[in-house]
Amino acid sequence: MEPKMINLTIDNIPVSVPAGSTVLEAAVSAGIKIPSLCYLKGINEIGACRICVVEVKGARSLMAACVYPVNEGMVVYTNTPKVRHSRKLTMELILSNHRMDCLTCNRNAHCELRQLAADLGIDAIRYANDDLRPQEEASALHLVRDNSKCVLCRRCTAVCRVRQSVGVIGCNERGFRTHVGCAFDRDLAESDCVSCGQCIVACPTGALHEQDSTADVMNALLDPTKHVVVGPAPSVRVTLGECFGMPVGTNVEGKMVTALKRLGFDKVFDVDTGADFTIMEEGTEFLQRLSSGGTLPMITSCSPGWVRFCEQHYPEFIPNLSTCKSPQQMFGALVKSYYAEKAGIDPKDIYCVSIMPCTAKKYEVKREEQRMANGCMPVDAALTTRELAKLITQAGMLFEKLPDSEFDPILGISTGASVIFGATGGVMEAALRTVAAKMMGDDNAPLEFHEVRGIKDIKEATYELPGKTVKVCVASGLANAKIVLDGVKSGEMQYDFIEFMACPGGCVNGGGQPLHSAYVRSFNDLRGMRAAALYNQDAGMEHRRSHQSPVVKEVYETYLGEPGGHKAHELLHCTYVPQKRYRT
């Protein structure tokens, strides 16, 4: 059914938009950008900052465009002297309570507040507060919060509550003493935070940023006793270019490899290879559970944010979790076992770095459950996509002019199945490709499973395999995971296999990915464009099933033995345990 259309004029431009649209949304369709600060479409629509005010004919006061609904015949003005004066004064008052060390701020090149001040023509600070000092809270392994730079837009609290259903941060106290924090102003480490980092990419200022590990990595690169190995996650190759002004969804795999080699890494491998091993182990585990009456539904364990959420909020589902380590941890385990043995290097002399879309990976690399039998942790440091961009910039590289290079062999060859891990539904599809092939043969099994693709919050599909009907579910964003888990508990939802990713849209939208303004995030399908680049790469690859990888075949034949076997379990699997809940 066609939606009812509403006709109005904005700055004397006729506009027709669906009923229920806001003035801000209507303005976008007319080619007009109304400035805003607190607005994040579908997440934080509260009209609190008052930057987006407009004049509406007949109204007694200025109206917040982000929450004001359109109606038939409405006349709106977005650029009158009254509107400009109000926005500018409001911004000056916001700046009066913001610590402005812009030159050294981690967000200096990506600060929405700085850009907004420039757009509004603020060229002097009339109400400067020189007494503001840093208010850093850095207890968590993945994140630093500095409330001296917080503008109380509430975008971080909304994404934590609405998208992730975690809600560990909110506004404490009232009036001039209002500030964002955990309940009772506890440290973030003493909360149920799952380390997803969605609050960071939602924040418009430098109030939130990841724990920076670049200095540790540079020290390792300068240490002649260390053999430093690096591997990027699947999604990083289609997001890194955005840090250097390239279009969203540009695949920069070759330039990324060149940059990593020029930074001085001894070996540049690919975490995609680890993802192929994840599918071998996870697919084998699923088939074993399916045939032997094991715990179902089996749930993926690739996303450390999701795993922690399960351990804290739904410990009864821990037996359902796959015992597989994540691709990052499998990659590190193979580097410090198979590769170390092949290269004749003591694993303790290897420093393994991963490039991740995810801040929760910084938490995962510290988990004792991941420690290997040789005493090593699989990965020593996890850098976000943003941190890699920082290292490239500091090294003086013109990224867009770099030639393409290829990953080093041994652990640098992968399949299309591993590439799509970066998108929601990708892990499920990769697993189904191998599971179906194992049951039906490569020539008879389907290669693509379009039903689990796309950015829809919750996707379901049923597949007929020899002797078994398999029902699967894919959900991204922890609020959606909660819906599915509650449905499984009540018996309303019944599945054999479930994929959960903590971040909405999957790793392409992770908390460590490139920063964009709320305007870009609200009115562009970043997740879809990034995911499309991964599927495009997959479509053009020689091998598109994990079990077809020549590396996978060689490592199992010469080192690991059978998938799911004793040595594979020792290296590539782990246990997950209930985590302490901080109930308030």
β-strands 497-501, 298-299 pairing: parallel
Residue for token pair 């840093």: 134
Q: Which helix (H) or strand (E) holds 256?
A: helix 253-262
CA separation for the pair 551, 181 (Å, rounded):
47
Report residue 180: phi and psi, to 5°: -85, 135
Question: Cα dihedral sign for 57, 63, 65, 67?
Answer: negative
Biggest CA-to-CA distance, the chain: 79
Q: How many CA atoms lie less than 13 Å away from 157 in the CB half-sphere?
A: 17
Cβ neighbours of residue 113 under 8 Å, at least 6 residues apart? 37, 94, 95, 98, 151, 204, 205
CA separation for the pair 126, 95 (Å, rounded):
9
Cβ neighbours of residue 327 under 8 Å, at least 6 residues apart? 233, 234, 271, 272, 274, 275, 277, 278, 302, 418, 421
CA separation for the pair 80, 85 (Å, rounded):
9
Residue for token pair 């200025």: 62
CA-CA distances (angstroms) from residue 216 to 185, 219, 258, 274? 30, 5, 21, 23
Residue for token pair 């629509």: 45
Instruction: Detail the DSSP E strand segments found in 308-349.
Output: none
Q: Helices 385-394 & 253-262, crossing angle to 10 degrees?
A: 60
CA separation for the pair 115, 119 (Å, rounded):
6
Residue for token pair 């495009």: 536
Tokens of 140: 């968590």
CA separation for the pair 527, 543 (Å, rounded):
25
Active site amino acids: 282, 285, 302, 322, 361, 364, 369, 507
From the list 240, 543, 281, 230, the residue with the least C-alpha distance to 427 is: 281
